[in-house]
Amino acid sequence: MMLDCGLVLMSDTRTNSGVDNISTFRKMYDWAVPGERIVALMTSGNLATTQAVVSKLQERAKTPGERHNTLLEAPTMFEMATQVGRLLRETIAERDHQNGPEASGQFGATLILAGQIAGMEPRLFLIYPEGNFIEASFDTPFFQIGETKYGRPIILRGYDRTMSFSDATKLLMVSFDSTIKANLSVGMPLDLLVLERDNFAARHRERITAADPWYRSISASWSEALKAALDGLPEYPFHTRGG
């Protein structure tokens, strides 16, 4: 999510191959050059594909002087998105080739790239399995990947570009809480990363578990607020509708 004050990112950690095979894996990663840049990557889709992409990026990040076009050397966030998109497309094509035509489409993944380079604006990109991408703007100030339909309406109603990091975190938490209650493929714990404009280190990072007191308070308060809002709506006028 893009704000005037920076970027707020949140991801769940659940992966599953059916209701009897549920695991927890990290889906958010970040790298930084202190005082110069910070970049974060969020993943959704085939776990083998996303882990392969992240592993390759991490290896490149460890040896910036030995490889070209790394995230830590790219001149712009746009160039970073281009590199990550190319790497994602190549990884998917490689796995499709290894597993034959019948496996085509099984190794897809979608990524979100976010960050800032010194002297430039914070930027946010949604990268598709084909390797192409779109950038967030005033018209599209946030991106979601994975299971999106349950939490999206909440963000659309509550988002304000001028909101504080605290309010943005509450909004994302409520969106995730609603999704978790509606879909077993999304689950705790949640990873939170706050990137403040022109501060090239994480402003805040946290792993929020189901036992976290703040999360439990937000979840309970949101449920109570929804019930109160429903009770406060006008009654359906049966007496004027024919019975």
pLDDT tens digits for range 184-218: 889 999 999 999 999 999 999 999 999 999 999 99
pTM for the full predicted model: 0.92
Looking at the domain assignment, is residue 176 inside a domain? no
Give the H or E element holding residue 118: none
Looking at the domain assignment, is residue 131 inside a domain? yes
In total, the chain counts a number of residues equal to 243
Name every residue whose Cβ is closer than 8 Å to that of residue 190 and which is 6 or more positions away in sequence: 10, 11, 12, 13, 173, 176, 207, 208, 215
For residue 119, what are the domain limits? 2-145+189-211
Name every residue whose Cβ is closer than 8 Å to that of residue 105 and which is 6 or more positions away in sequence: 96
Q: What is the pLDDT of residue 55?
A: 92
Looking at the domain assignment, is residue 241 inside a domain? no
pLDDT tens digits for range 55-79: 999 887 665 555 544 688 899 999 9
Looking at the domain assignment, is residue 109 inside a domain? yes
- Compute the distance between CA of residue 213 and CA of residue 202 in angstroms, rounded to an integer: 23
**Is the pLDDT reported for residue 87 higher than 60?**
yes
Looking at the domain assignment, is residue 217 inside a domain? no
Q: What is the pLDDT of residue 66?
A: 54
Q: Label residue 103 by pLDDT band (50, 70, 90).
A: low
The structure tokens listed for 28 are 């958010």
Percent of the chain with pLDDT over 70: 91
The structure tokens listed for 145 are 């990947």
- Give the DSSP letter string of 180-240: HHH-TTS-S-EEEEEEETT--S-SEEEEEPTT-HHHHHHHHHHHHHHHHHHHHSPPP-GGG
Q: What is the pLDDT of residue 102?
A: 64
pLDDT tens digits for range 9-28: 999 999 875 566 778 999 99
Q: What is the pLDDT of residue 59?
A: 81
Mean pLDDT, all residues of the chain: 92
Q: What is the pLDDT of residue 98?
A: 81
- Compute the average pLDDT of residues 224-233: 97
Looking at the domain assignment, is residue 183 inside a domain? no
Looking at the domain assignment, is residue 171 inside a domain? no
Q: What is the pLDDT of residue 243?
A: 57
- Compute the average pLDDT of residues 141-153: 95
**Is the pLDDT reported for residue 239 higher than 60?**
yes
> What total of structural domains would you count in the chain?
1
pLDDT tens digits for range 165-185: 999 999 999 999 999 999 988
Q: What is the pLDDT of residue 69?
A: 44
**Is the pLDDT reported for residue 33 higher than 50?**
yes
Q: What is the pLDDT of residue 61?
A: 65
Cβ(104)–Cβ(93) below 8 Å: no
Region class of 119: left (phi > 0), else alpha (psi between -120 and 50), else beta? left
Looking at the domain assignment, is residue 48 inside a domain? yes
- Compute the average pLDDT of residues 2-13: 98
**Could you tell me the CATH number of the domain that includes residue 121?**
3.60.20.10
- Compute the distance between CA of residue 133 and CA of residue 54 in angstroms, rounded to an integer: 17
